[in-house]
Amino acid sequence: MALVRLLAADPDWDATVLLPEGAAEGAFDALPASVPHRARGVEQQAGGSSASVLGALSIGARLLVQAAVTRIDPAVRSGDLVVANTTRSAGYAALALTRNRRPLVVHLRDRIDVESLGGFGYRLMTKVVLPRADGVIANSRATLATATPHLRPDAVGAVIPSPSGLRPRTRGPRRPGPLRIGMLARIDPWKGQAVLLEAFARAFGAGEEQLILAGGAPFGHEEFASSLRTRATALGLGDRVLMPGHVSDVDGALDDWDIAVQYSLRPEPLGQNVLQALAAGTTVVAADEGGPVEWVEHEQNGVLVPARDEEALAATLRRLADDPPLRARLSDAAPRTPGLDDDHEIARRHGEVFREVLRRRAR
């Protein structure tokens, strides 16, 4: 999604998108006609961060095949540089460019640690990818700090948030109805939906407030999504917990919420949801660690809550529910957060990184 936004933002550089077979089918149909894209190679398995030994061997074999296909692709052979948009693509891109002087730029949207990447992914990133990278674009300073020890001294390091379709705006009048609290994130145990559900039940067990857990359940997490529904029923929340699945109209969803929560169970690198909520003027609640603390200033444009503390999260939600003037003040300040750039500016900053990588390589 971030890559499609980036390439649709009229960048001042040209790109060809290379995909493994079966990757994000249909997602790239929204690309401008000027951006060619094609799928080749083999399908890449999900679940790399938790793969067994046999699973890691299978993933490794598929990476090697994809690396071979990537190495001989005309776009790679003729391009000025290669950009890896994901952790998985960074693996096969680095292998493809072994003994090849073509510059490699890697997007970092995950922290470089075993907890985030799994043992196989961590070794691949620290032993193969990052030492080979000529540049990295990280989504937060916190993410970049985890990669820096593994980079060459001459590698370009930049912090640029992912394109998020930001449109900073002042909120209109609140729609009538119960207080609406939402989390916009893929359904995944580490994203914190289960803790938010328990905190919501603790804070609003007998009220009319609604909880919206918006996001799809990719990477094999359909069972976790089902467990959330079962738990909501067991807590007696009934139809007050909504799970609409993947949301295409992010602006519309956020404009309808009173509070947007980010509460990942490990330090969040920095997804798009925090920036999108700030731009929408939705009152933001975030865990006090990782990338979000680079954007959310406690009680100035949002509220920071101790991480992995269900009781503290429940108390914060209850406080915000009971204090509309506080919500209004935070909502008013959120869209004025410095650095909430639109996708065109994000694309321009990417171009600056690409050109700096080429300048350093030329020297």
Mind listing the pLDDT tens digit for each residue in 27-37? Answer: 788 888 889 99
The Cα 352–Cα 183 span in angstroms is 33
Compute the residue count for the chain: 363
Task: Provide the token pair at 20.
Answer: 């493994």
Tell me whether the CATH fold assigned to 2-164+342-362 matches the one assigned to 180-336.
yes
Residues 140-188: tens digit of each pLDDT: 999 999 999 999 999 999 999 999 999 899 888 888 999 999 999 999 9
Residue type for position 47: G
The Cα 204–Cα 198 span in angstroms is 10
Task: Provide the token pair at 34.
Answer: 């000027």
Query: Could you please report the per-residue DSSP string of 78-92?
Result: HSS-EEE-SHHHHHH
Domain ranges of the chain: 2-164+342-362, 180-336
CA distance to 62, 69, 89, 194, 278, per residue, from 285 (Å)? 40, 44, 32, 16, 10
pLDDT of residue 29: 83
Quick count: other Cβ atoms within 10 Å of Cβ 13? 14
Of 228, 224, 225, 261, which is closest to residue 245 (Cα–Cα)?
225
Contact 39, 21 (CB under 8 A): yes
| Burial grade of 239 (CB within 10 A; 0-12, 13-18, 19 or more) | exposed
The Cα 311–Cα 199 span in angstroms is 7
CATH number corresponding to 2-164+342-362? 3.40.50.2000
The Cα 313–Cα 198 span in angstroms is 10
pLDDT of residue 218: 81
pLDDT of residue 157: 98
Contact 25, 49 (CB under 8 A): no
pLDDT of residue 54: 72
pLDDT of residue 48: 54
pLDDT of residue 1: 85
Of 168, 182, 181, which is closest to residue 334 (Cα–Cα)?
168
pLDDT of residue 46: 67
Task: Provide the token pair at 81.
Answer: 């540089």
Residue type for position 354: F
Of 62, 97, 72, which is closest to residue 83 (Cα–Cα)?
97
pTM passes above 0.85:
yes
pLDDT of residue 7: 95
The contacts of residue 289 (CB under 8 Å, 6+ apart) are 267, 268, 307
Residues in the chain predicted with pLDDT less than 70, given as ranges, are 24-25, 46-53, 55
pLDDT of residue 136: 98
pLDDT of residue 221: 86
CATH level 2 (architecture), domain 180-336:
3-Layer(aba) Sandwich (3.40)
pLDDT of residue 26: 74
Query: Could you please report the per-residue DSSP string of 190-247?
Result: GGTHHHHHHHHHHHHTTS--EEEEE---TTT-HHHHHHHHHHHHHTT-GGGEEEEES-
DSSP β-bridge partners for residue 298: 302
